[in-house]
Amino acid sequence: MRSLDRRLAALYHENEPRKFWRFCDPIESSVFEEAARRSVDVLGEAFESVKSDSAREIVAAVLSEATTGGHRFTDLHRVYYRIIRPLLPPAGRRVIRRFRRRVTDEAGPLDWPIEHRFVSYQMDLLRNILQALQAQELRFVGLWPRTFTSCLVLTHDVESSAGVRNVRRIADTEERLGFRSSFNFVPDAYHIPSSLVDDLKVRGFEVGVHGLKHDGLLFSRRSLFQSRTKTINQVLSDWGASGYRSPMTHRHPVWMQSLDVEYDLSFFDTDPHEPMPGGVMTIWPFFVGRFVALPTTLMQDHTMTEVLGKASPEPWLEKAAFIHRHHGIALLNTHPDYLTNPESLDAYKTLLSVLGTFSGRWHALPAAVAAWWRARSVARIGDSLDPVDLPDGCLWTVAAHDGKIRTLQDS
């Protein structure tokens, strides 16, 4: 494989197909390697340059955004966040953001808002393994606990004190509709009443950290990142929080290893409109060294209003249906700051009402999903897992005749 940094690649080794699928019966690694070789074309031209015979390396290349952009703080970022942005009033920043999003080249290496190739790659790999083993079906540890067949996680980034003032209203709305979510706050950007953090937790919501300041400079220098991380880790500990999302979804998988978190929300499956465009292509959680990454897979609220020019539940529902069909995680990030707009709030409420009717969808807080993903990665049949036991009932199958995944509910 061409020049994927070894230290970076090593962070992704726990996601190799053998560990991802967790088959119940032992399968020779040569079978995986041969299947990976035969399936790689499904990933398309973007991956021509990283063609590898190793399933582990192919997956590392995809998840580390090796060819699709991502986690590069460029000179343009430096000039914008250091010099231009501080001179602009909030309205001016919005105009620039809107303009940049509208002119962003959507003909990048990834499709948007639905990027199916990594999902197809994993499914093709299953078919090739079945064929190589001449098996009618294979059993594996279900992707989700109990009888759930997909997952739904709601998150919010709170950008300003206007957002803080709207948090309780959003929490009330969700609670009325039977949902809970996580709220990520920026410790050094505005006042965060400790009573608000405590109240959210008591009511079954989660709190997380959204950078230290919201100035876009966190990843501009390693030394700055390290010094801010010390404070971020202190705040995580003070709040009893285990989750994090970077402002502007800036990210650097290697640097981020110094965050004391169980999970991170800064990665997304595909989005050409983010300040660091790109995407990890997956609709499932994955390991990045010490933490579990839960990819944001539904379009962000401000992207919808700024790119599509309207707030509507349709783009969310269409993607949520794709994710549900492929047993993935529908993870949404909305902002209490923007949900002050009645049109956006209506779209959000409609989304929740419809999602409430999806059967088999596991609605959970991000910390619980990260805990499940970790437990699943090491569980043996018969183990008792928190929050579920892992009896035979948790096993899913993939069938040779149609390549479809069947869960306990289907059988």
List contacts with Zn ion (CB under 5 A). Answer: 157, 159, 247
Nearer to Zn ion, 68 or 300 (CB): 300
Tokens encoding 287: 């390991």
Which spans in 296-341 are helix H?
A: 301-303, 314-325
State how beta strands 243-244 and 263-264 pair.
Answer: parallel
Give the Cα separation of 348 and 345 in Å (integer).
Answer: 5
Nearer to Zn ion, 17 or 247 (CB): 247
Residue 256 CB, shortest distance to Zn ion, in Å, is: 16
> What are φ and ψ of residue 229, in 5° steps?
-65, -35
Q: Which residue is nearest to Zn ion (CB)?
A: 157
Q: Is 150 left (phi over 0), alpha (psi -120 to 50) or beta?
A: beta
Give the Cα separation of 21 and 321 in Å (integer).
Answer: 22
Nearer to Zn ion, 328 or 336 (CB): 336
State how beta strands 361-363 and 329-334 pair.
Answer: unpaired
Residue 148 CB, shortest distance to Zn ion, in Å, is: 30
Nearer to Zn ion, 268 or 284 (CB): 268
Residue 210 CB, shortest distance to Zn ion, in Å, is: 6
CA gyration radius, the chain? 21
Nearer to Zn ion, 126 or 154 (CB): 154
Residue 390 CB, shortest distance to Zn ion, in Å, is: 37
Give the Cα separation of 240 and 67 in Å (integer).
Answer: 36
Nearer to Zn ion, 159 or 262 (CB): 159
Residue 211 CB, shortest distance to Zn ion, in Å, is: 7
Nearer to Zn ion, 159 or 269 (CB): 159
* 217 contacts 239 by C-beta, under 8 angstroms: no
Residue 29 CB, shortest distance to Zn ion, in Å, is: 42
Q: Which helix (H) or strand (E) holds 406?
A: strand 405-406
Give the Cα separation of 183 and 197 in Å (integer).
Answer: 9
* 120 contacts 328 by C-beta, under 8 angstroms: no
Residue 317 CB, shortest distance to Zn ion, in Å, is: 24
